[in-house]
Structures are given as structure tokens and as C-alpha cells.
Structure 1
């Protein structure tokens, strides 16, 4: 087989390498072309060198090209994969920093909440540019695979306004299933069968079977509470399991910021999170992790390049959906996964226009969703709160409507639990002004926002958050890595 895959945002070096090696684990895909594109020539050069080394070491006919010209990369592509972060870490830092001034403490801030909504405002105009290029220069039947957050908003915009065949992909379901299998004592995650459905980052394991045996709420709660690690790291997630009756796919830290109950007061945050790793609820945890990872990669690049000389091992192919979807579409080897698509009746008690994440099967005929799923009422209610915010956020981003944007932020569950309307109005003005260079649709609204800020009397505070850690230096990371290696 010979076709072209374009990766937008290929400068996400580690993730691009994973996608690349996963796809090359499919024997029929050795003779394809990867076209890498990114706004950073520096990052493109680094990732191309790594992928070229992999091709050379494995003696493959695979072709790798790299260009900052996106249309050139997309020309003739059958599959387009996006893993972009519009505004990079600079804008992301404001997504965390500014809401903290108004008492909003986020762990990740890339899906909803104040940070995720503004992230969507930056991404959606760019997503529509991608879609325009796909329609104009890509293969006639091109498929757009979106890995970028905010997943639901980006996918919603691409389908509804970009008019491109789009699927959103995430790995939260797989990670949640691995946890459940572990606490239940399974020898392999493959022993666990499940139905998991909802919306991205709020998907719910509504049916579980271990080696064919149904697993109920009480057994699952007991298993998690008995686990020596997860009982400490996933306290909030276990509490939601007890109250809702089903387990959420999302990490302790991520889940905490989608709900109005656990991060509303500093003392509540420290009660429910765990500081052993960023993903369990640390203030700005993913920002810190992303910053350290970037610094670490820049410093340790020669070692990463050397590691690329090793043979590809199909046994180590990851459970990221992309390679499995492409394999199913091209070879008709059927793949079952969980995909972000427009609902259209798949989940009976969520809106038709919502972007849901639910089980489906892939073959030559495309992605075929399993329909007729009804979520438990509490799960549906929680999803609905986010869906309403997502819908308003998408519409605001398309229209450049700052008033609708403020209403979207106001209706966010955590924001509403923490901030007053006056605070929300000022916070959005401040975020839009700070990120103006990435928000072209709000250009006409920026002068008035600046004027309002100059006259505002809403008080703010400089606050690091309830559980903030400093970014570690390269030397500290090296020392920690060495200590772990010695201990292991």
C-alpha cells in the first residue's frame, strides 16, 4: 500500500514518534509517506531526524518529509492527524495564571473550565483553516483525526463548520480500563470487557465484565479502596464511583476540574488530590509537566536520537487509536475502539449535536458506532453541563462573540462554583487581552475589553493555587531519574 499521512503539529516530538512507530507496525504500511508540518522549524528538524533514523535503522522504504508549509504537507494526504497546541506554553501559562487570580484552581485546564474554553477559542479558527486546506488540497475522501484538546470543541467545529470527515481520538478510556483490570486482579487488561460511553474526559464505564463475569459497583469500590496506590491517588474518582455507581475514565486531577464540588475551596482541593504525580490534582500540574518535558527533551536530544536506532517492535505497539483505525480502514481487519463523533442518537439521553465518546467498530466501510446507549442519569446530567458550555464556546469562537464567550465561562461548573458574574466578566476580558495575538476573531472586541479593564474595580489576588509545585530544573530531573534507577 502507498498513501500519504500528514501530521499537523508534528513538533509534538514524543507523541509524533509514537504515532509513527505504531503505524509502521502494520506490515502493509511500510511504503507510505509521512508529511510533517509545524510552525516551528526547530522542532520539525528534531523530529524529522528521529524519524529518519528509525527508517534507516529498520531499512524501510517509508518516506518522511517536513515543511512549515501546511498546504504542501496536506496535498494529496489520505489521513491528516492533528496534535497542535495553539499558543504553545506561553498561552497555556495564562490559561492557568489568570483564572487563579479569581480563585479558579485548575489541574490541567485544557478541556473546559476557564483555561479549556480559552484554549478552544485559540484552536477553533486554526482548525477551520486546517479544514479549508483539507477540502481544497487533500485526497477527496480524506479523514481528519484530531488528537488536540479541547477534544469536543475542536471536533465539533471541524464537523459542523469545517465540513470535513473528522473523528476525535483520546486514550482516557484505555487508561481507565487498565486501572480497573489491575485492581480486579486481572493478569492482562484483555481479560476486561466493557462498555464505556459519555463525552471526552467524562466517559463512564457503564458495564464491566471480567472474563465474562459481571462486575458491580460494590466489588469495584472495594477493589479500589484495597489497592495500595490507587486508594491514595484516586480519592476523588473513588468518591464519584460511590455516588454515581460507575467509574469515570478521567484522572483524579482532570475529573476534579469538570465538576463543581471538589475544587471550590483550597481546603477541599488538598483533601481530594494526591501530590505524588501531577495528574492526581496538582495546581497547574500539566503545565509544569509540559514545561519540564520540553526542557528535558531539548537537553537530552542526543539520547532520544540514539534510541531511535533500535528496531521497531510490533509487540510494543501502543493502544493509541490512530494506527488501529488506519489498519482497519485499509485492510478490513476490524478494530473496536472509543471515538469522538457527533451523537446523532448514539447516546439516547444526550443532545443530537453533541460530540460524544462512545464505542464503535472500524472496517473498510468506516467508523460504525454502537447505538442505543443510555447513560445513568447522574452521568448524563454531568455531561450535559459540559456540553452546554462546549456548544456556547464553539459558537462564540466562530462568531468572535465576547458576550457569548463570557456566558460560556459563567456556565462552566467549576467557574460557577467559585466566581461571581462580575469576576467572570473581568477575567474573560483579561484573558482575551493577554491572548489577543492568537484570537483574531476577537480583534474588534479587544479595545473595549482593555477600556473596561482600566476602569474595573473587581478585586483579584496573586495566588499560586492550593497545591502548586515549581518547575524542576534539568539537574533536578536528572537527579530524580538517577535515584529512581538506583532504587529500581
Structure 2
């Protein structure tokens, strides 16, 4: 087979390498072209060198090109994969820093909450540019695979306004299933069969079977509470399991942001999170992790090149959906996964226009969703709170409507549990002004926001959050990795 895959935001080096090697694990895909594009020539050069090394080491006919000209990369592409972070770590730092001034403590801040909503405002205009290019220069039947957060908002905009065949992809379901299989004592995650449905980062394991045997709430709670690691790292998730009766896919720290109950007071945050790793609830944890990862890659680049010289091992193919979807579409080998698509009746008790994440099957006819799923009422209610915020956020981003943007932030569950309307109005003005260079749709609203900020009497505070850690130096990271290697 010979076709072209364009990867936008290919400078996300580690993830691009994973997608690349996964796809090349499919025997029929050896002769395809990967067209890499990014706004950073520096990052593009580094990732291209790594991928070229993989191709050379494995003696493949695969072609790799790289350009900052996005339309050139997308020209004739059958698949376009997006893993962009508009504004990079600079804008992301404001997504965490500014809400903290108003008492809003986020662990990740990239899906909803104040940070996720502003992230969506930056991404959506760019997503629509991608869609325009896909319609104009890509293959006639091109498919857009979106990995970028905020997943639901990006996918919503691409489908409703971009008018492009789009699917959103995430790995939260797979990771949650691996946890459940482990606590239940399974020898392999393949022993666990499940139905997991909801919206991205709020999907719920509504049916579980281990080797054909149904698993109920009480058995699952007992298994998690008995686990020596997860019982400490996933306290909040276990509490939600006890109250809702089903387990959530999302990590302890991420899940805490989508609910109005666990992060609204500093003393509650420290009660429910675990500081053994960023993902369990640390303030700004993913920002710290992302910063350290970038610094590590820049410093240790020669090691990444050395690893790229090793043969591809198909046994180590990851469970990221992209390669499996492409394989199913191109070879008709059926793949079952969980996909972000427009609801259209798939989940009976969520709105038709919402972007849901639910089971589906892929073959040469496309992605076919399993319809008629009904969520438990508490799960549906929790999803609905986020869907309403997502809908307003998408519409605000499309129209450049700062008043609707403020209403979207006001209705966010965690923001509403922490902040007053006056604080929300000022916070949004401050965030829009700080990120103006990435928000072209708000150009006309920026002067008014600046004027309101100059006259505002709403008090703020400089607060690092309830559980903030400093970015570690390269020397500290080296020492930690050496200690782990010695202990292991």
C-alpha cells in the first residue's frame, strides 16, 4: 500500500515517534509517506532525524518529509493527525497561573475548567484552518484524527464547523481498563471485557466481565482498596466509584478538575490527592511534567537518536488507536476501540450534538459505533455539566464572543464552586489579554478587557496552589532516573 499521512504538531517528539513506529508495525504500511509539519523548525529537524534513523535502521522504503508549510504537508494526504498545543508551554503556564490568583487550583487544566476552556479558544481557530486545508488540498476522502486537547471541543468544532470527517482519539479508556484488570488479578488486560462510555475524560466502565464473569461494584471497590499502590494514588477515583457505582477512566488528578466537590478548598485538595506522581492531583502537575520532559529531550537528544537505531518490535506496538484504525480501514481487519464522535443517538441520555466517547468497530466501511447505550443517571448528569460548558465554549470561540466565553467559564463545575461571578469576569478578561496573540477572534474585545482590568476592584492573590512542586533540573532528573534504575 502507498498513501500519505500528515502529522500536524509533529514537534511533539515522543508522541510522533510512538505513532510512527506503531503504524510501521502494520506490514502493509512499509511503503507509505509521513509528512511532518510544525511551527518550530527546530523541533521538526529533531523529529525528522529520529524518524529517518528508524527508517534506516529497519531498511524500510518509508518516506519522511518535514516542512513548516502545513498545506504542503497536507496535500494529497489520506490521513491527517493533529497533536498540536497552540501557544505551547508559554500559554499553558497562564492557563494554570492566572486561575490560581482567583483560587482555582488545577492539576492539568486542558479539558474544561478555566485552563481547558481558554486552551480551546486558542485551538479552535487553528482547527478550522486545518479543516479548510483538508477540504482544499488533502485526499477527497481524507480522515482527520484529532489527538489534541481539549478533545471534545476540538472535535466538536471540526465536525460542526470544519465539515471534515473527524474522530477524536484518547488513551484514557485503555489505561483505566489496565488498572481494573490488575486489581482483579488478571494475567492480561485481554481477560477483561467491558463497555466504557461517556465523554472524553469522563467515560465510565458501565459493564465489566473478567473471563466472562460479571464484576460488580462491591468486588471492584474491595479490589481497589486492597491494592497497595492504587489505594493511595486513586483515593478520589475510588470515592467516586463508591458513590456512583462505576469506575471512571480518568486519573485521580484529572477527574478532580471536572467535579465541583474535591478541589474547591485547599484542605480538601490535599486530602484527596497523592503526590507520588503529577497525575494524581499535584497543582499544575502536567505543566511541570511537560516542562521537564521538554528540557530532558533537548538535553538528552543523542540518547533518543541512539534508541531510534534499534529495530522496530511489533510486539511493543502501543494501544494508541491511530495505527489500529488505519489498519482496519485499509486492510479490513476489524478493530474495536473507543472513539470521540458526535453522539447522534449513540448514548440515549446525552444530547445529540455532544461529542461522546464510546465503543465502536472499524473496518473498511469506516467507524461504526455501538448505539443505544444508556449511562447511569449520575454519570449522565456529570457529563451534562461538562457538555453544556463545551457547547458554550465552542460557540464563543467561533464567534469571538467574550460574554459567552465568560458564561461558559462561570458554568464550569469547579470554577463555579470556587469563584464569584465578578471574579470570573475579571479572570477571563485577564486571561484573554495575556493570551491575545493566540486569540485572533477576540481582537475587537481586547481593548475593552484591558480597560475593565485597569478599573477593576476585584482582589486577587499570588498563590502557588495547595500542592505545587518546582520544575526539577536536568541534574535532579538524572539522579532520580539513576536511583530508579538501581532500585529496579
TM-score tier after normalising by the smaller chain length: over 0.9
Q: 1:456 deviation in Å?
A: 0.1
For 2:218, the equivalent position in structure 1 comes to: 218
For 1:387, the equivalent position in structure 2 comes to: 387
Query: What CA deviation, in whole Å up to 9, does each residue of 1:410-460 have, x standing for no partner?
Result: 000000000000000000000000000000000000000000000000000
Give the distance between the partners of 1:265 and 1:211, measured in 2 at CA.
42
Gaps of 5+ in 2: none
Alignment of 1:414-429 (within 5 A): 414-429=414-429
Query: What CA deviation, in whole Å up to 9, does each residue of 1:334-365 have, x standing for no partner?
Result: 00000000000000000000000000000000
For 1:232, the equivalent position in structure 2 comes to: 232
For 1:191, the equivalent position in structure 2 comes to: 191
Query: What CA deviation, in whole Å up to 9, does each residue of 1:68-101 have, x standing for no partner?
Result: 0000000000000000000000000000000000
Q: 1:181 deviation in Å?
A: 0.1
Query: What CA deviation, in whole Å up to 9, does each residue of 1:200-224 have, x standing for no partner?
Result: 0000000000000000000000000
SS at match of 2:144: strand
SS at match of 2:453: helix
SS at match of 1:444: coil
SS at match of 2:116: helix
Moved segments of 4+, more than 4 Å:
none
Q: 1:321 deviation in Å?
A: 0.1
For 2:115, the equivalent position in structure 1 comes to: 115
Alignment of 1:376-415 (within 5 A): 376-415=376-415
Give the distance between the partners of 2:456 and 2:304, measured in 1 at CA.
50
Alignment of 1:340-359 (within 5 A): 340-359=340-359
Q: 1:35 deviation in Å?
A: 0.1
TM-score (norm 2): 1.00
Q: 1:117 deviation in Å?
A: 0.0
Q: 1:401 deviation in Å?
A: 0.0
TM-score (norm 1): 1.00
Q: 1:163 deviation in Å?
A: 0.2
Q: 1:254 deviation in Å?
A: 0.2
Give the distance between the partners of 2:303 and 2:347, measured in 1 at CA.
46
Q: 1:127 deviation in Å?
A: 0.1
Give the distance between the partners of 1:114 and 1:43, measured in 2 at CA.
29
Give the distance between the partners of 1:62 and 1:486, measured in 2 at CA.
38
SS at match of 2:470: coil
Q: 1:309 deviation in Å?
A: 0.3
Q: 1:12 deviation in Å?
A: 0.1
Query: What CA deviation, in whole Å up to 9, does each residue of 1:182-214 have, x standing for no partner?
Result: 000000000000000000000000000000000
Give the distance between the partners of 1:304 and 1:20, measured in 2 at CA.
15
Q: 1:366 deviation in Å?
A: 0.1
How large is the Cα RMSD of the aligned pairs? 0.2
Query: What CA deviation, in whole Å up to 9, does each residue of 1:449-484 have, x standing for no partner?
Result: 000000000000000000000000000000101111
Q: 1:143 deviation in Å?
A: 0.0
Query: What CA deviation, in whole Å up to 9, does each residue of 1:269-318 have, x standing for no partner?
Result: 00000000000000000000000000000000000000000000000000
SS at match of 2:337: strand
Give the distance between the partners of 2:246 and 2:303, measured in 1 at CA.
43
Deviates more, 1:450-459 or 1:478-487: 478-487
Give the distance between the partners of 1:58 and 1:422, measured in 2 at CA.
60
Q: 1:246 deviation in Å?
A: 0.1
Query: What CA deviation, in whole Å up to 9, does each residue of 1:105-127 have, x standing for no partner?
Result: 00000000000000000000000
Give the distance between the partners of 1:309 and 1:92, measured in 2 at CA.
33
Q: 1:179 deviation in Å?
A: 0.1
What number of residue pairs does the alignment pair up? 488
Q: 1:56 deviation in Å?
A: 0.2
Q: 1:39 deviation in Å?
A: 0.1
Q: 1:15 deviation in Å?
A: 0.1
